[in-house]
Chains A and B, each alone.
Chain A
Amino acid sequence: ETGVTQSPTHLIKTRGQQVTLRCSSQSGHNTVSWYQQALGQGPQFIFQYYREEENGRGNFPPRFSGLQFPNYSSELNVNALELDDSALYLCASSPDNYGYTFGSGTRLTVV
């Protein structure tokens, strides 16, 4: 399989709920990263996983957590959703830090 696939494409949640976003990376891409992009801004780094271990984290609280699985899929979990969590969430994968391929993103709206 080629490319990075994210699901769902759109999601509406209520403040305080929990959400799980999913990403399927390209085969052979050991590195997966998640980014949050607010409207009109550049993407902000949430965290990165390399071979199923977190190896970098941005300035996001612990209620943002993730997992990477051996089959090149990964998850972003956000607990206790806040209105400011409304954004486009992007998944990116890379073959050992050599350039990143991004998915189409999940648009999360928290009401």
Chain B
Amino acid sequence: DIQMTQSPSSLSASVGDRVTITCRASQGIRNCLAWFQQKPGKAPKSLIYAASSLQSGVPSKFSGSGSGTDFTLTISSLQPEDFATYYCQQYSTYPLTFGGGTKVEI
């Protein structure tokens, strides 16, 4: 199975900060990577697919980059509604696997 390792597992940031989350795959997954945002008690929400493509309706402050094994999610200017847990997920190979999550806290 492909292991997805996110770092950091949690971070503290302030409104207006630029935040970067890293996701590393244990083997190459081309650009078959998605990012999701999850708030407490809610379902995950799609943010990014194909490593760098923005899901329709998602604000452009979210961006993704990378290919192969190393990927990043960047939030350009953190707002109160962005405090949540973020997950990466590879869809290159079965079984599909998620990273452990990054909790973004105030």
Q: Do A and B come from one complex?
A: no
- A residues with a Cβ closer than 8 A to B are none
